[in-house]
Structure 1
Amino acid sequence: MNENLLNTEIDKLDELYEGLKDCIYGEMPVGKMNKALGLLVKIRDQSATNIQRLAAMDVGPVYPILEELERAETKHPAWPSDPIHAAAVVQEECGEMVKAAVQYVYEGGEEKALLAEAVQTGAMAIRFLKNFNGRKTTRSVTDEFDCSAT
């Protein structure tokens, strides 16, 4: 994220703050209005801080993972409902990444293949986190999930 984009986002937050402030005037008792405005200032400042943190991060490698995640969810919308089978999907991708790494280092394998496996592993790890429901069940939606596809 470049400096101009960051400043644009901060300007938008300031506009939102001013617009909300204008809406509040006259419709709330002064005490509640001051409390609401104080909260808006905190929200605006925290948002600006978060935007600055994001701007400083190198998130470039994340974009291919998110694209792969979207592709995989579209191609294979079903996902195991239990953590064991879901983790197995991540493990399967991780195993393919290790295999690609061995081939890259010892067998003249392609860097492109290794990086593709790393992206797929990251996508499945994110999918695991997105779908984790906290239940300790061993039952899975296997009839809706094709275990051979990633």
Structure 2
Amino acid sequence: MPISQALTVSGSAVGATVTELLTTSDASFSKVHGYDITTYEKEEGDIDGPFTVAVSVSCGGGGMVWFSSSSFLEDMYNAYSSGANVDLTMNALASLVGESDAMAIRSKSLNYNYLTIRDSTASLLKVAMIGVFPLLYLGIGMGVILRRRRMQSETV
């Protein structure tokens, strides 16, 4: 939940139910300087966690789901969770409209991220895989065979 604000969950109002959906770990901390931070490390004055960062509220016949950050739906942050952020949002919306059967893991993307390496690295890998490793294994095999023959001739 990047760039999020901690939510304060206190006593529920009459007839309302507040459920914490996402909370941070005990090792989490909140930076007091907000966007003006100079380091991501914990500093003196930072607030210790855990924090609630998503809640579900139901009252009467209605309800809402509140996430403390909208940035978690951006492509970069969604990719960090392998698409789980969008799944969480879709499942939360499905629960609000009463479709409990609609809660599922969405299909995987068919977009492939290809590994791109430089030509010099590719050449080095070719030499290692085609030349160095086979010769190394051949040398080890010959060493084992010669050692066994020497041991066999000594016992005779």
Q: TM-score band (shorter)?
A: under 0.3
RCO comparison, higher one (Cα < 8 Å, 6+): 1
Task: Report the TM-score when normalising by structure 2.
Answer: 0.22
**Greater share of helix:** 1
**Greater share of strand:** 2
Task: Report the TM-score when normalising by structure 1.
Answer: 0.23
